[in-house]
């Protein structure tokens, strides 16, 4: 269950909303993820994020998910720029 609240990037927000802002999150050992207070009771979002994380290219665990989030945002920005060009 959720324990040890810390300031982190919420894994659910990162994967589903591309939101990499740091907020108060609790660690969930079952999900192996930091989850913000808003998403702690939203099981549908948590399950979708867990599935997406397992399919995420280059995912090696919590130690590199901030790096992947920032890289994903850069790639999405580039794609948006190309669409408007």
Convert the pLDDT of each residue in 5-53 to its tens digit.
688 899 999 999 989 899 999 988 887 889 999 999 999 999 999 888 8
Buried b (16+ CB within 10 A) or exposed e, 34-65: bbbeebbeeeebbeebbeebeeeeeeeeeeeb
CA of residue 49 relative to chain centroid, distance? 7
Residue ranges covered by each domain of the chain: 2-84
Cα angle for residues 5, 69, 10 (degrees, 5° grid): 20
Q: Looking at residue 58, what is its pLDDT?
A: 64
């Amino acid at each position: 269950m959720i324990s040890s609240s810390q300031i982190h990037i919420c894994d659910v927000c990162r994967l589903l909303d591309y939101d990499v802002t740091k907020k108060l999150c609790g660690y969930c050992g079952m999900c192996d993820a930091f989850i913000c207070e808003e998403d702690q009771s939203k099981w549908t979002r948590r399950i979708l994020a867990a599935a997406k994380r397992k399919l995420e290219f280059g995912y090696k665990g919590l130690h590199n998910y901030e790096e992947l989030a920032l890289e994903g945002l850069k790639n999405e920005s580039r794609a948006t720029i190309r669409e408007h060009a």
